Amino acid sequence: MAKKAVLIGINYPGTAVELRGCVNDVRRMQKCLIELYGFANKDITILIDTDKSCIQPTGKNIHDELTRLIASGQSGDFLVFHYSGHGTRIPPGIGELGDSTGFDECITPCDMNLIKDHDFREMVSHVKEGCQLTIISDSCHSGGLIEEVKEQIGESHVKPINEVKEQIDESHVKPPKLGIASYLLSIVMNLLATCGISKSQRDRGGGQESFSGEIELASDYETFDIKTRYLPFESYVSLLKQQTGQTNIESRRIRQTLLKLFGEDSSPIHQRGLSDLGNFDVNAGDSGAPGSIADKGILLSGCQTDQRSEDVYVTRTGKAYGAFSDAIQTILSTPRKEKKKITNKEVVSEARVLLKKRGFSQRPGLYCHDRYVNKPFIC
């Protein structure tokens, strides 16, 4: 039995969307895996952007390391992939099939070479039978990060892709059953969502602003500053222009642009052709495991598909961390009356309670096959 992990922390230093806690999340998870779960340091691969001597968390490197992690796993092994950084989501382009949420949820590597939910879905399809992969994503829009995985805890209501296709097919022949006012409102809401702005984000002002308040930590209160790990789509496009020097990037053709800019290092889905998205074989993979991708992989998300995860900086101590990552660490370090190992369901449920108590609106989610719900967290 082997235990291996890939940990990603991206602070985006020197950019307008710089974060403080992502690399710290990685260091804490590394320590947690070694001290609580028996991982060997040599079996933990770290990608961070604050130390040039480390593997840089570019799109290609993240994709390659996760692919390598999955390929190395055998029956009885435990694999962990932890990501802390910005999340974004991109709307479907012209003539493209959107997924069950209407967008592609993505993580944002340091070079802006997005890794999308379709990419995660394909990589997870290769998890071998009897091998367990746990993915923890402390990023915005992380609820839909792996397509086809059953939503066990959450309000994103992710649906199988075949149901989405049926709904789209029906919409081509049936007019929307909405009043004109509701119909116009839905258009405005979709336009705002295209820019990555959900209702909760509009209520708070949206964008990259920091804001202050008090948060209950243990038995005391601390003053803190928060910066969201939410990267609006238009902000992402602006960063992509800055990093590549390309000023004529069209938002509606972002997939074609990424393929042109990153070539073989871009999303494999882009390389195979955008028209293949709607025909993706959810039973693909070489594991021989029965059923679909829903049987493979466990996702613990920091929030729902339309929510943002928060990056916290405690002003008195100077500590910085992701709210969801810190909640997990707090839960795991709290002595339990029972010696029984904490389950995936318990971690997410308790994280929801703790985050709400601390004043955060983000609601973590659990996505996995039924058999993993009450399995021990990680191993």
DSSP symbols for 278-346? GG--TT-SSS--SS-GGGS-EEEESS-TT---EEEEETTT--EEEHHHHHHHHHHHS--SS-SPPBHHH
Q: What is the pLDDT of residues 205-262, one digit of tens each?
A: 334 444 445 555 544 566 788 999 988 888 999 999 998 998 888 888 888 899 999 9
Quick one: pLDDT band at residue 103, thresholds 50, 70, 90? confident
Quick count: other Cβ atoms within 10 Å of Cβ 240? 20
pLDDT at 313 over 90: yes
193 sits in the region (left: phi over 0; alpha: psi -120 to 50; else beta) called alpha
pLDDT at 127 over 50: yes
Question: Across the chain, what does the average pLDDT equal?
Answer: 81
pLDDT at 279 over 50: no
Quick one: pLDDT band at residue 339, thresholds 50, 70, 90? confident
The pLDDT value given to residue 338: 75
How large is the average pLDDT for residues 284-302? Answer: 63
What DSSP assignment string belongs to 213-278? EEEEETTEEEEEEEEE-B--HHHHHHHHHHHH------GGGHHHHHHHHHGGGS-HHHHH-GGGGG
The pLDDT value given to residue 214: 54
Q: 73, 4 in Cβ contact below 8 A?
A: yes
Q: What is the pLDDT of residues 189-214, one digit of tens each?
A: 444 444 444 443 433 333 444 444 55
Q: What is the CATH number of the domain that holds 63?
A: 3.40.50.12660
| Tokens representing residue 334 in the block | 């709290």
Pairing of strands 151-153, 210-217: unpaired
- The percentage of the chain sitting over the pLDDT mark of 70, rounded to a whole number, equals 73
Determine, yes or no, domain membership for 247: no
Dihedral of CA 61/145/139/348: which sign? negative
Q: 117, 98 in Cβ contact below 8 A?
A: no
Quick count: other Cβ atoms within 10 Å of Cβ 96? 14
Cβ within 8 Å of residue 109, ≥6 positions away: 10, 57, 58, 59, 61, 62, 85, 115
| Tokens representing residue 224 in the block | 């803190």
How many domains does the chain fold into?
A: 1
The pLDDT value given to residue 271: 64
Alpha carbon distance 166, 150 (integer Å): 18
Alpha carbon distance 248, 153 (integer Å): 41
The radius of gyration computed from the CA coordinates of the chain, to the nearest angstrom, equals 20
Question: Domain range for residue 357?
Answer: 3-156+294-306+321-372
Determine, yes or no, domain membership for 144: yes
The pLDDT value given to residue 221: 61
Determine, yes or no, domain membership for 132: yes
Determine, yes or no, domain membership for 239: no
234 alpha carbon, distance to own chain's centre: 19
Better-scored residue on pLDDT, 71 or 267: 71
Quick one: pLDDT band at residue 133, thresholds 50, 70, 90? very high
Burial of residue 375 (CB within 10 Å: 0-12, 13-18, 19+) is middle
pLDDT at 150 over 60: yes
Determine, yes or no, domain membership for 237: no
How large is the average pLDDT for residues 326-343? Answer: 91
Determine, yes or no, domain membership for 281: no
Alpha carbon distance 131, 76 (integer Å): 5
The pLDDT value given to residue 296: 86
Determine, yes or no, domain membership for 58: yes
The pLDDT value given to residue 208: 45
Q: 312, 323 in Cβ contact below 8 A?
A: yes
How large is the average pLDDT for residues 165-179? Answer: 38
The active-site residue out of 140, 303, 368, 379 is 140
The pLDDT value given to residue 306: 87
Residue 118 annotated in active site: no
The active-site residue out of 86, 118, 126, 270 is 86
Of the candidates 91, 116, 118, 110, the residue with the CA atom closest to the CA atom of residue 102: 91
Better-scored residue on pLDDT, 213 or 116: 116
Quick one: pLDDT band at residue 270, thresholds 50, 70, 90? low
Determine, yes or no, domain membership for 355: yes
Residue 140 annotated in active site: yes
